[in-house]
Amino acid sequence: MKTRTSPRRILNILEEILDDPEKYTAKKISHKLKIPLATVYRQIETLCEEKFLIQNNNKTYIPGPKIRDIILKSLPYEPNFTLRRSFLRKLTNDIQETVSLSMPIGTKLVYFDRIQFHWPMQLNLDAGDHLPLHASASGKLYLSFLNSTESTQIFKNIKTPKTAKNTITDVAQFKKELNKIKKQGYAFDNEEWFNGMVGLSVPITNNNTLYFCLSTHTAKSRKNIEDLKKILPLMISSANNLKKILLKN
């Protein structure tokens, strides 16, 4: 007689993988949860077939498109949604620029919320869009939280040609940029994503783990890098307020 699969078991397997996608292989999950390896493989295969997970080449798994959709669709229903947006709206009004929130999901940095300021020139992003890790302020900030080997390999794998006049394509120069970001704790985009556009991103962290990036991008004709440095205290203050609600247990 076939044993029924416990919904709790498959949820536990999924939870372990989402907790640290780069760490848990099927064997490690089997050992930790004390579930037969064959069962773990079977459940993971089902999760991959249904696009909740995607297998990496190193036998680990990352969140698939269905998980990302669930996360993004659930955000508007979080208890502090209205409070979160009030902080974003205040920051938008204070700096008179559009502000955005993005979050790491697997090895991607995904945009999920924005309060738009009414300027004719805008960078249009939809919830779920991926930010360029090598060219955007938030992307570089995210990579600065990874170890040097990982961030360098990701940079090499991107193999993206210049999209703007200051896009960094040299590995040594990119390592230097990430070290600078790591030391100062925030990142700029100095016409690296698009010509004529600059940006600033600050982290929202807990125990040195990056959970969200709070950022703004603007036309250089409105604000240059020196202008963005002046609004840095407002960005950091807003990030601290958002941390209290986004990372609230």
pLDDT digit string, tens, across residues 46-72: 888 888 888 876 677 877 878 877 877
What does pTM read for this prediction?
0.75
pLDDT given for residue 249 in this prediction:
54
Beta carbons within 8 Å of 27's beta carbon, 6+ residues apart = 37
Residue 40's nearest CA partner among 21, 23, 26 is 26
pLDDT given for residue 126 in this prediction:
57
pLDDT given for residue 248 in this prediction:
73
pLDDT given for residue 196 in this prediction:
92
pLDDT given for residue 1 in this prediction:
33
Q: Measured between alpha carbons, how far is 242 from 84 in angstroms, rounded to an integer?
A: 6
- Residue 45 and residue 29 in contact, taking contact as beta carbons nearer than 8 Å: no
- Tokens 């007689």 map to which residue? 1
pLDDT given for residue 5 in this prediction:
56
Q: Which helix (H) or strand (E) holds 84?
A: helix 81-95
* pLDDT < 70: residue spans in the chain: 1-5, 22, 57-58, 75-77, 106-107, 119-129, 159, 249
Question: If 0-12 CB within 10 Å is exposed, 13-18 middle and 19+ buried, where does residue 247 land?
Answer: middle
pLDDT given for residue 4 in this prediction:
47
- Domains of the chain and any CATH numbers: 7-63 (1.10.10.10), 78-246 (3.30.450.40)
Q: Measured between alpha carbons, how far is 5 from 226 in angstroms, rounded to an integer?
A: 59
Q: Measured between alpha carbons, how far is 213 from 215 in angstroms, rounded to an integer?
A: 6
On average, the pLDDT of the chain sits at 86
- The first and second tokens of residue 92, run together, are 């938008």
